[in-house]
Copies of this chain bind each other. A is one copy, B any other.
Amino acid sequence: MRVGVIGLGSMGMGAARSLLRAGLEVTGCDPRPAAREEFIAAGGRAVASAGALPQGTEALVVLVVNAAQTEAALFGPEGALPRLASGAAVLSCATMAPDAARAIAAKLEQAGMLPLDAPVSGGAAKAREGAMTVMAAGGAAAFDKAAPVLEAIATKVWRLGEQPGIGATVKVVHQLLAGVHIAVAAEAMALGIRAGADPKALYDVVTSAAGNSWMFENRMARVLTGDDAPRSAVDIFVKDLGLVTEMARALAFPVPLAAQAQQLFTAAHAMGQGQKDDGFVIRVWQAMTGIALPGDEEAGDEK
């Protein structure tokens, strides 16, 4: 099967390598030469532009940042559409508004393709292992056509409905939870520090109790060691909580906690922390209150 992967970032590279391992004929597409070279070294083919994908590509995975990039990668002047075989499966994997997911799927259907609204989660490590989670919506024919691709990149494929848009909806709601959980993890850790709790003891108690979340456990571990290299950056949640509040506004639906968390990530971005690991939204509280963070001393030593 001739497969294209547009976007060789941390998730796209993992998916592309997983497809190679599954024995498919994979062409990766990324404007960055380093990403193309890495994928060629792994045994794949690579092109700089979606318009240069092999003619007759039968399945396409679009793993770019947002709806605008997805639109451009498919339908732009250098887009992939003319290179696709009729009836190709097209997986739209970026986190985007449900309306955007529906519009993209409609255009693909009109062009004779089989669209899947298929946002993913799991992070870079899971992507490398072919163990992503896919929150997918689309017709049975699209799922059938995409089956070898889904099998190669994911261990869990949720079939959320026939209508494109519901995959995007579930992903956006998921990001609401993820974003608020990160921000409140930071709020709680920061308050605990100011109140005199030992940060590690607080972490140990919370992670063994009913106040735990996946994000508290994962992100506050990084805050405890002062490791702010981004696995997922503050700016991702500026964007994703923006999608949450846009979707909510379009539905005339109040989301007070998501809106508050959005303000906190926006504050972290304003402080110049946008490319830091998202758990370091805690630096907003540090800036307001002057608390010392666990990794500060070591970081100071490095300077």
Interface residues of A (CB under 8 A from B): 98, 121-123, 133, 135, 156, 158, 160-161, 165-166, 169-170, 172-178, 180-181, 183-185, 187-188, 190-192, 194-198, 201-202, 204-206, 208-216, 218, 244, 247-248, 251-258, 260-261, 263-264, 285, 288-289
Contact = CB atoms under 8 A, between A and B. Distances in A.
Nearest to A247: B195
Given A174-B210, A177-B206, 17 more contacts: A121-B209, A122-B210, A158-B205, A160-B201, A161-B198, A174-B188, A176-B191, A178-B210, A187-B258, A191-B244, A195-B253, A209-B214, A210-B215, A213-B216, A256-B260, A257-B257, A257-B261
A213 B254 contact: no
Contacts of A204: 158
A252 B290 CA distance: 11
A303 to B, nearest CB: 27
B209 A174 contact: yes
Given A133-B209, A180-B184, A208-B133, A191 B214 contact: no
B289 A183 contact: no
A168 to B, nearest CB: 9
Contacts of A288: 254
A295 B168 CA distance: 25
Given A254-B288, A257-B261, A166 B210 contact: no
